[in-house]
Amino acid sequence: MTRRGTLGVAVVGTGRMGADHVRRLHEVTNGARVVAVADVDAERAKRTADGIEGCSAHTDPAAAMAADGVDAVLVASPGAAHEAALMTAFEHDLPVLCEKPLTPGPASALRVLEAEQRLGRRRVQVGFMRRYDAEYMRLKALLGTGRLGRPLMLHNRHRNVATPPGFTGEMIVNDSLVHEMDITRWLLGHEISAVTVLKPAASGNAPEGLRDPQFVVFETSGGAIVDVEVNLNCGFGYQVQAEVVCERGTARIGDGHSLVTQQDGRWGGAVAQDFTERFEDAYDRQVQAWVDATRRGEVTGPSAWDGYAAAVICEAGVRAQREGVRVEVTLTERPAFYA
């Protein structure tokens, strides 16, 4: 794929995230076009493809990837289907942007790592979009200067208005906390070495049987302590905040003060209501960066190794949550391929 060419993308999965990525590729992203979509729901796939000239609709991901004009794949299907989709993409030697999780567990993630290494070059970028958020990027750049000294602690808040029907305790770890797992590794440059989950009294806002909020502590290979308030039924909005405490200062993001109004004797601002609003720019930046890199013949961003690490930490987090104990995280040796 040359810089001058337009990247033809097949989108696998046309649910909420997949449909949003189709819209993004069609209306926002430069240098790409959607040429095929796939979903087990044939009508949904057809509705998504309608209105996009030259876009074909399929129920089989393999058929979408084999469609004329496909140069790359964006996988936004449920996590349990990711391994099969990735293996099919590898068979076609197609670059992939894969929404998190890479796969639901460490064993399947290792199989993906091994298959990608057999190709001899990276093909997978994992969709940890917070790495493309402007505030997180500025925080990462500041830490990289060394002006604040070594990071000693990282405080995080992750709040949602409410959980959807059927949301489980394990999903607190696998669907929400996973973002703090990845952003901790990225910001600090440390691996997470242990996880502890503490459970205060359940909020009256939480559905029956769901222990929410929860307070999570990560220990890292660099000696930092990281805490996360996961509060998924706070009722008032969607908030993601982080504060790094270093040897010579602190830095904080996520206060949401980009717009402050003063009217009728009051001052204040709006609180985002969901993740698509809060991280819209990050999603746009992530997909554009993937398209640009792919057109250059490169793969950048979070790797399959990052997806594997997240799967291992999630497994430890679920055990810590279930058993109420501190659980150590053990990663396999990192292949030089992902250095």
User: What is the reported pLDDT for 260?
Assistant: 72
The pLDDT, as a whole number, for residue 1 is 46
Q: What is the predicted pLDDT for the residue at 3?
A: 47
CB atoms within 10 A of CB 127: 24
Rounded Cα gap, residues 96 and 86, in angstroms? 8
Q: Give pLDDT, residue 171.
A: 97
Which stretch of DSSP H or E encloses residue 19? Answer: helix 16-27
Half-sphere exposure of residue 165: CA atoms within 13 angstroms, side-chain side: 0
Give the tens place of pLDDT for each residue, 16-47.
999 999 999 999 999 999 999 999 999 999 99
Structure token digits, residue 339? 């250095």
- Please state, rounded to an integer, the average pLDDT across all residues of the chain: 95
Q: From 270, 295, 289, 279, select the one nearest 240 (Cα to Cα).
A: 279
Whether domain 7-130+281-302 has CATH 3.40.50.720: yes
74 neighbors 12 (Cβ within 8 angstroms): yes
Cα of first residue to Cα of last residue in the chain, in angstroms, is 25
Residue 280 and residue 297: Cα distance in Å, rounded? 26
Q: In the chain, which residues have pLDDT < 70?
A: 1-4, 257-259
* pLDDT of res. 128: 98
Residues 199/211, Cβ–Cβ less than 8 Å: yes
For the domain made up of 134-277+311-338, give the CATH fold: Dihydrodipicolinate Reductase; domain 2 (3.30.360)
Delimit the domains of the chain by residue range: 7-130+281-302, 134-277+311-338
Using CA atoms, how far apart are residues 271 and 120, in angstroms rounded to an integer? 45
Predicted local distance difference test score (pLDDT) of residue 4:
54
pLDDT value of position 2: 44
Has this prediction a pTM greater than 0.85?
Answer: yes
